[in-house]
Structure 1
Amino acid sequence: MPAFSRRACTAYVSSLFVLVSLSACGAGSETTTAGSAEKLTAAPSAERLSGVCPKTVVVQIDWEPEAEHGPVYNLVGPGYTVDTDKKRVTGPLVVDGADTGVKIQVRAGGGAIGFQSVPSQMYVDKSITLGTVTTDDAIAAAAKQPVTAVASLMRKSPQMLMWDPKTHPDWKTIADIGKSDAKIITSEGATYAELLVDKGLIKKNQVDSSYDGSPSRFVSDPKIAMQGFATAEPYIYQHEVKAWGKPVRYQLLSDVGYSVYPEPLSVRSGELTKLTPCLKKLVPIIQKSTAGFAAKPDHALDVINDLVTQYNTSWVYSKDTGTYAAGQMVKLGLLGNGADGSVGGFDMARVKDTLTTFRPLLTDSGAKVPADLTADRLATNEFIDTSIGMKTS
């Protein structure tokens, strides 16, 4: 499973915590429709994708529907159909509410693809146009499943370590956790944990890789620290986990060297040239969708909420959580403009530094990272329109 989206197939239940078996994740088979595309106007010629892009642009997401993928779901226009068996939504690909002339299909990850990584799924199923692949996952996959990121959805990772401020009033940062003997609950094989140990911020014997997504461990033992998403758990624990019902404190991993780009939209590297005519038009549309989602996330959140309901897996994600997440993405600078004032691009010096940092960590964990792998094979700004950015107050 990808490092960024390694979440568990878990249900949050008020004061009971029931771990639902993976076999129970998803059961429907009907395809339903929602909304109407009849009144859509055509996008201007510069944003018409028919003839240069696939008739259906297929996007493979690495997890269930959630706000972190909001810029992608924001592209799904009215009149979309939902395949509740395969966990896919297909509709007109829209920009500023106008029809680009092609469809977009967004496919859920996680259980819907057998918890395989997005690069592996992209190489198994060549109908996939774009996939969300975090930088460290792209490095790990580069030998056999190389991908190149063409547009970032977020500038920084929302992953964090969190703790109970009442139990640990002296903890302000992750480094403070490392000065203690407290256990840190992480996912198995979490690359960021190896990074934190390598940087001397935490001790190796503190890492407990038994994270399963359930809040029960944290609630029953507030002495621990635990991984989470700054876009979700702070709200969920305070407002939806009734056995906790109070704030948590956290620090973003991006503050302490976890420099990856989380879930940028990526193509199979060998198809970059072939897709260039499409990407020249499509990437600026993705940039517009990202800026639009930041300013007004309602449409994307409505689509996400509808899909969570219709997919009916064990994934529990309330609309209130989505609304909180969308706000936090902007507030914490996870979603924002780069140094040039545009959205969706990459700081290539940062990509190079990330490769330098994570190459030895991934190699030590068993990944075969090509010796000649370079930053420009992991990401490109070739298709970024530097005039498209988020409005700032």
Structure 2
Amino acid sequence: MLGHSNVKAKIICLCLTIVVLLGACSGQESNGATEDGEFNDSVKLVLNWFPKSQHGGAYAAQENGIYEENGLDVTLEPGGPQVSPIQIVASGKAEFGLAHADQLVMARNEGIELVSVAATMQGSPQALMFHEGHGVEDFSDLNGRQAFIQPGIPYWQYLKNSYDLSGVEELSYSGEYSIFMQDPEVVSQSFVTSEPYFMELEGIATETLLISESGYDPYNIVLFTTKEYIEENEETVKRFVDSYLDGWYSYQDSPDTIHEVINEANPEIELEALEFEEETQREFIFGGEAEQNGVGYMTEERWQLLIDQLLELEMLDEEFDPNEIFTTEFLPEN
């Protein structure tokens, strides 16, 4: 009898274990929601460069618990010269990435189905930098000078197509500024949010000419994911976009704390440089159409214009519908 009792007890325990396991499994939804409505989704965001103020909203959302409040466990992966957020996200090794709008259009031209879900910067802070007082008032004034430009960068192709720059000696940009600092007639590509500050530290006064003044002004630091990920994880995408945008408003209210977090993630950049970048990028993030419509705002007209410009430059094989590459579905309604 004792043996039969032991067997019976073991059977009862086994049945209870199965019931518990089945109950735990049934409490999980395909979108990461549990029975009580909570979420616990792990996602990765690949930055377009080493951590800087241009990523302040992403870090603020993490530091201030905004991701967590929205049921997200987010990993922020730094970018760099050897890191391609587009390739990483397209391969499924990360759920979200940051890139410039023209990079995403070029990727679509290569058959990579990415979708932009929010534009961090309404305009581009890309610019040509030159020594103060050295006569560059228009793009045509570049003739007769050396210009350090990244090979293949779309805006340079646009400038050459719009202006006669046959008198410019193009030099490959590598991020090194020794020649620029020594020769007051040299011009270099830059971002108004960073390089002028570093030149000032070297005692060199500079001026800049925004590329956008030529008519080429794509969205910058665009948040994107894949078409497939949106189709399978619509709720997660919505919560991530909400968190990311809320992070930018949080960063706007108290940037100093987040600068310390970014400095810890990237010790190569000092707090003063982060402060300069944060101040000079405000208009690009919170100004323009974002002032009335909110951070992240995008329009079909802007995407269509960019596609048309790249088509004219023969950098695209064929035209495609801009709605294939962006959506406002996850942006707040205004």
Long gaps (5+) in structure 2: 1-30
Q: Does 1:104 align with 2:74?
A: yes
1:85-122 alpha-carbon deviations (Å, 9 max, x no partner): xxxxxxxx526xx73332111111125xxx14321122
**What is the CA-CA distance between 1:71 and the residue it aligns to?**
1.2
The amino acid of 1:66's aligned partner reads K
Q: Does 1:380 align with 2:327?
A: yes
* 1:189–1:209 Cα contact (<8 Å) kept: no
User: Which residue of the partner structure matches residue 284 of structure 1?
Assistant: 242
Cα 1:54–1:348 change in 2 (3 A) is: farther
Q: Return the TM-score normalized by structure 1.
A: 0.70
**What is the identity percentage for the equivalent residue pairs of Structure 1 and Structure 2?**
20
User: Which residue of the partner structure matches residue 94 of structure 1?
Assistant: 66
* 2:39–2:70 Cα contact (<8 Å) kept: no
* 2:120–2:285 Cα contact (<8 Å) kept: no
* Structure 1 residues 108-127: aligned runs within 5 Å: 108-111=78-81, 115-124=82-91, 126-127=92-93
User: Which residue of the partner structure matches residue 173 of structure 1?
Assistant: 138
Cα 1:324–1:359 change in 2 (3 A) is: same
* 1:50–1:100 Cα contact (<8 Å) kept: no
**What is the CA-CA distance between 1:288 and the residue it aligns to?**
1.6
Equivalent of 1:259 in 217, 229, 252: 217
**What is the CA-CA distance between 1:294 and the residue it aligns to?**
2.5
User: Which residue of the partner structure matches residue 190 of structure 2?
Assistant: 228
Pairwise CA RMSD of aligned residues? 2.3
Structure with the greater alpha carbon radius of gyration: 2
Q: Return the TM-score normalized by structure 2.
A: 0.82
User: Which residue of the partner structure matches residue 45 of structure 2?
Assistant: 59
**What is the CA-CA distance between 1:209 and the residue it aligns to?**
3.7
User: Which residue of the partner structure matches residue 284 of structure 2?
Assistant: 333
* 1:57–1:128 Cα contact (<8 Å) kept: yes
User: Which residue of the partner structure matches residue 150 of structure 2?
Assistant: 187
* Structure 1 residues 198-209: aligned runs within 5 Å: 198-200=161-163, 202-209=164-171
Residue 110 of structure 1 aligns to a residue in which SS?
coil
Cα 1:204–1:61 change in 2 (3 A) is: farther
Equivalent of 1:138 in 82, 104, 112: 104
Residue 203 of structure 1 aligns to a residue in which SS?
coil
CA distance in 2, matches of 1:276, 1:120: 21
* 1:135–1:378 Cα contact (<8 Å) kept: no
Residue 351 of structure 1 aligns to a residue in which SS?
helix
Long gaps (5+) in structure 1: 1-48, 79-92, 310-315, 388-393
Equivalent of 1:147 in 86, 96, 114: 114
User: Which residue of the partner structure matches residue 7 of structure 2?
Assistant: none
**What is the CA-CA distance between 1:255 and the residue it aligns to?**
2.3
**What is the CA-CA distance between 1:353 and the residue it aligns to?**
0.5
CA distance in 1, matches of 2:113, 2:171: 28
* Structure 1 residues 2-17: aligned runs within 5 Å: none
The structure that is helix-richer by fraction is: 2
Number of residue pairs aligned between Structure 1 and Structure 2: 298
**What is the CA-CA distance between 1:63 and the residue it aligns to?**
1.2
